[in-house]
Amino acid sequence: MISCLYQNGIDIRRFVSKDFKDEEVLPRDQRYDFVIYLEKSVYDEWASRTPWQGRQILAPMRTRKEYTATDDLELYQDYVRSMEEVRDWVKENMSDYSRLESLVSR
């Protein structure tokens, strides 16, 4: 995924995954506009258990189970489809704050 993103102009090589349980990552008193979950299973497990309980949005996208690749080329194509899905969602929803407000799940 990292290589695919990089080949498509998105460099996440220095990014580090964060733990929902870590209050240093999502502190209770921090002011975030929104936390957006891309998988329902992650939302179901963590939305009510994270230290930060502000506005949360479930924006379900493709899950790992939906990847059907049997070789590297197909996996690359699956990743590109996922990137496009996220990019389209961001274009449609992130430019309008009231639209985001209407999507709040929790």
Q: What are the residue boundaries of the structural domains of the chain, listed by start?
A: 17-102
**pLDDT value, residue 63:** 85
Question: DSSP assignment, residue 101?
Answer: H
Q: Amino acid identity, residue 50? A: T
pLDDT-based confidence at residue 1 (cuts at 50, 70, 90): confident
The token pair that represents 34 in the structure block: 């929104």
The kind and range of the H/E element at 57 are strand 56-58
Residue-wise pLDDT tens digits, 32-87: 778 889 999 989 998 888 877 778 999 999 888 888 899 999 999 999 999 999 99
Structure tokens given for 79: 């990743």
Q: In angstroms, what is the C-alpha Rg of the chain? A: 15
- Checking if the pLDDT of 23 tops 80, the result is no
Residue 31 scores a pLDDT above 80: no
